[in-house]
Structure formats: C-alpha cells, structure tokens
Amino acid sequence: MSRIVIRHEACTLCEVCLNACPFNAMENLNGKIEINSNCKVCSICVKQCPEKCISKIEDELFQVDRSLYKGIMVIGEMRQKDLHPVTLELLGKARELADKIKAPVYCMIVGEELLDAAQLCLSYGADEVFVCEDRELKFYRSDIYAKLISERISQIKPSVVLVGATPSGRSLAPRLAALLKTGLTADCTQLDILDNTDLIQRRPAFGGNIMADIMTTRHRPQMASVRYKVFNPIEEIKNPVGIIKRLSINPDELLSGINLLEIHHEAVSESITEAKRIIVAGVGVSDPEGLKLVHQLADQLQASVAYTRPLVERGLASYTHQIGLSGRTVQPELLITCGVSGAVQFISGMEHSEHIIAINKDPKADIMNVAHVAVVGDAYEILPQWIEALKKGSFHV
C-alpha cells in the first residue's frame, strides 16, 4: 500500500503543498504539516515540495504462503434434513476446478442428522465431507454457524471456499470472510482457476454494464458465492469412495446470542427457478395484448411466465417472477423470450438454459447472441401462429 510521508525536521512550512493539493488533504496543525483522510496518494505534493521533504513510500504487501492451502471446499446448505440443490451444483463446479489443479474437493455441512446428506455429497464429487452435527445446529443461526465453520476452515486450509448465494448463504459468506480475513466475491456467474491456484471470479459490475474478473492473489482462502441454477451438478457416482469425517464440537461453540422463538413455514408458491419451461415477456410485448399472447403460449406449453426488470418495475408482475441479477436465476429445459432485448443483467440469469428461443424484431439484439434459435420478426404476428398451431397439434416443442 502507498502512503505519503513528511520529514517534519526538513519542512520550512512554506505551505506550497497545501496550495498544490487538489483534495485538501494537507493542513497546518499547530505549526506542523499533517495529512488527513482526504489523501488520494496522487503525489502532487511530492513533486511540488521545494525542500523535497515529502515522499511517497510503498509498504511491504502481505503475501500468504499458498503452499499451506490446498483443495476446494463447498459449504453445504441444509434445509433441515435435506441438502439444498445448490450444494450439488457447487460440488460439480468444484470438481471441475479441482481436476485442473489436481486438488481434492471438500464439503462441510452443519446441522442435525447429516449422514444421508454427507453420502449424497460424496456421490456428487466430494472427496471428503466434514460433518458438524448437533441438535443445536438444526436451524441456521449466523453467529454459531460463522464461528464454527470459520474455525474449521482455518484448520483444514482449503485454497478456495464456495458458498451458495441463497438467503442464508448471503448472510453466512461475508461473516466467514471477515473472520478469515479474506476477500469475498458475491454472486459469481463464472469461475475458473489458474495453475497457481488463483481463482478467477467473474461477476457483473457497475449495474451489470461490464463483467469483472476478480482475483484474490495475496490472501487465502479465496471465497466466492454463486447463485442457485448457475452451474450443473456432475452425474451421480454410484459407488463413491470418499471419506466422511465427523468434527468434534465444543459445547461453548453452541452458545448463541440469537434466541429461536418460533418457526413459520412459508406457503409454497410456484417458482420460476424450478420451472422446466418458461416464457419471458419483455418490453416489446408489455401492453395488455402482448401479455395476453405470452400467457396463451405458456398455457399451451404448460410453461411458467417470467418477466424482465422493466415490467416488474412498472408493477406488471412480482419480482419473484423476474429473471436477472436482481431477480431469479433459471435453467429450464426450454426458455422462449418475447420482445426481450437481452441486457447483461437478464442474460446472466438465464444463459445456462438448455434450449433458448428468442423472438425479436431486431436481428442485432443482444438476446440473439445467446439464443439457440433466433426468430426475427414481430411477436404480435408470430405468437398467434404458434398458439394456433399448438391448439391444432401441428406444432410441437
């Protein structure tokens, strides 16, 4: 890290530096030039000082010993006795990354009655599953989970830690990163790894206008959170040979400042995240007639209807049916977009769909670049033909 240093014994208090600084970062305090928090280390004062008593120095950067860290760890998430599917997706990606650097894949799960979940993790790519099991861990509590997991990570020393960007994962991940004194890249859409074990973490930045590649080069472990439905699990291994290790827990580690009073189960509603077929309405079909056509097509295909952000912001749909960075990430067998231009934020939420069909008047629309089938034309003309053909049974998807 760079900083500005003043040799006060050589300073004549000419105040040239005060006048030169564009950030008002220097001031005369009781006959002594001091640097305040406005300093941007631009070095203008260094160049302007006539006595050459101001200098810029580089502090020695901290650098972790990478050889002490090995493997890729997935923090599994339990829904009481069931393993959240995002865990299997992360294990699939972890297996791919680990194979590139010839490293093991670890998984850590915390909760109650975890044997079946641990076996499932082995079947989907884990070499070792670390189990923290106790009745007090049945429900997620941020203070217990963060301390318990961070201390085990410090002992195991994986090079990479992956967390699902679920509601509880978004609560847990930053707490872990703070306790481990490392960085965290949230909501990654792509991951890759270099031979030196540096993890390339790609995520949209500046409102989705650019894709940023982020690397944690001086600290370990490297941490990233990934949304559900971004990656695919590997094919299930029928006879896994991995190891399950039960980790001991000190009773003091189960003390929490959070008192769990009641559990309320949310009513289950239709989720586009799990839908196998989705029809997406964009700005190009946002009037009543266009939305009616989208719903008619969805009825014929037994599909769910989703929306882009502008339609949700107009109040035409709930955010739970929005696809994109600020909505849901989906990976259906079939996704048909109608009048969708294809902003980066939207594409990040659906680009891994198995089959993508895009209808748009503009052949150069961004959505056409990710579509497997691009239909150039007016949705108001195309959709009625498709709907009628489906009714007659002369058109199959």
Positions in the chain short of pLDDT 50: none
Burial environment of residue 145 by CB neighbours within 10 A (0 to 12, 13 to 18, 19 or more): buried
pLDDT at 201: 97
To the question of domain 2-58 being in CATH 3.30.70.20, the answer is yes
pTM: 0.78
- Supply 222's token pair: 């490297």
Closest CA to 303 of 353, 243, 378: 353
pLDDT at 392: 85
pLDDT at 265: 76
In this chain, the answer to whether the domains covering 66-254 and 272-392 adopt an identical fold is yes
CATH number of 66-254: 3.40.50.620
Domain limits, the chain: 2-58, 66-254, 272-392
For 166, which DSSP code? S
pLDDT at 80: 78
Closest CA to 161 of 144, 143, 138, 185: 185
pLDDT at 397: 60
**How far is CA 14 from each of CA 5, 11, 31, 33, 325, rounded to the nearest angstrom?**
17, 8, 11, 10, 54
* 115/135 Cα distance (integer angstroms): 14
Closest CA to 343 of 375, 312, 366: 366
% helix, strand, coil for the chain, step of 5? 30, 25, 45
Place of tokens 């003091």: 252
| The CATH number, out of the four listed (1.10.3720.10, 3.90.1150.10, 3.40.50.1220, 3.40.50.150), of the domain defined by the range 272-392 | 3.40.50.1220
